[in-house]
Amino acid sequence: MIHSDPPLLNHYGALLCCSTQCDESQSWRIMEECQLPLIDLSGLSSRDEMVRKACVAAIYRASSEWGFFQVVNHGICPRLLGKMRSEQVKLFRTPFERKASCGLLNNSYRWGTPTATCPKQFSWSEAFHVPLTKVSDEACYGEFTSLREVMTEFAAAMSKLARLLAGVLTENMGHGKEVIDNICDESTCFLRLNHYPACPISPEISGLVPHTDSDFLTILCQDQVGGLQLMKDSKWVAVKPNQDALIVNIGDLFQAWSNDVYKSVEHKVVTNAKMERYSMAYFLCPSFDSSIGSYGEPSIYRKFTFREYRDQVQEDVRKTGYKVGLPRFLLKGTEDFTRSNKESNTRIYIPSITANS
């Protein structure tokens, strides 16, 4: 029998047999379901200045209070999203051995967490992690010729939306909308296609372990199965799916640039015992040598390049299994901030499937 899902159970079982208990203390109990702030982006193009200002204020408030929000009337055609989802499902239903060995989509296929040393570090999922520079490369698609056309259109639409929102967030803090736009290019931005197979074993197995994103912002298109959770007021809350909306979340770089005004919030995906889940994410990243510095004074973080940040994240993960992230770049005199982050469990495990998140 040919299987399309990766051998997640085998890997997880091996971890159960040979691992020691992870040292993080983390509650997996869900306290409540939340409705993320919902923002109608048609307000940005309104001729009514008051309507536009209200839309900008809503984006600013959600980015600073939640770090997450939903957008409707975002300009991406539902037909395109539907076609992309159909192509995504077709791709993941390819036999596992072919996905793992045939170099599809720039050899970007990943599954599970090869570096996990205990069950809590394991992600029950598979993904294609595709750089934007490879999205239109015909050689990457093999027999999936229809996927290339749809994904090229999808990537362009998501990029346009991401840059629009980044411009709003920079303008709202007194800077030109081109500040972020000028340093982000296709060499580092990417799409990730995610698939979370049903997991009947345990509700405590993560589809994607807790993490923050190492970018400026992320735009997520998910199905209606649910499973996304985020940290709000020191507790996990489940995000209620909205079929008409895309989800936007702030990344580490925007938090650093905004001097902690905008929040990069820890989030995760939990598994579903009976239903598989699909999602597609766009990550807005700067060029590797771009300098990231706080927009105002006194600055909380020292300046760093995106390359330096990525290298530090990867080094921490390699040595400890955990992403430390922004606390590594705090300026001297912000020890209280560092201490409060440690107390709120900021040690985040980053599996190989999310090495860039």
Q: Which domains does the chain have, with CATH numbers?
A: 29-340 (2.60.120.330)
pLDDT reported for residue 347: 42
pLDDT reported for residue 341: 47
Which residue matches tokens 């995760």?
268
Integer Cα distance of 258 and 207 in angstroms: 30
Angle in degrees, CA 257, 176, 289, rounded to 5: 50
pLDDT reported for residue 357: 41
pLDDT reported for residue 353: 43
Q: Quick one: which H or E segment has residue 94?
A: none
Q: Taking a C-beta distance cutoff of 8 angstroms, is the pair 43, 54 a contact?
A: yes
pLDDT reported for residue 237: 95
pLDDT reported for residue 29: 55
Integer Cα distance of 22 and 153 in angstroms: 43
Q: Taking a C-beta distance cutoff of 8 angstroms, is the pair 308, 330 a contact?
A: no
Burial 260-292 (b: 16+ CB within 10 A, else e): bbbbbbbbbbbbbeeebbbbbbbbbbbbeebeb
Name the amino acid, one letter, at 10. N
Name the amino acid, one letter, at 24. E
* pTM for this model (two decimals): 0.91
pLDDT reported for residue 20: 57
pLDDT reported for residue 21: 54
Integer Cα distance of 300 and 315 in angstroms: 22
Beta-bridge partners for 72: 40
Structure tokens at 97: 């051995």
Structure tokens at 70: 């939903």
Residues in the chain: 357
Q: Give every residue of the chain whose pLDDT is below 70, as ranges.
A: 1, 19-31, 334-357
Integer Cα distance of 191 and 286 in angstroms: 14
pLDDT reported for residue 352: 41
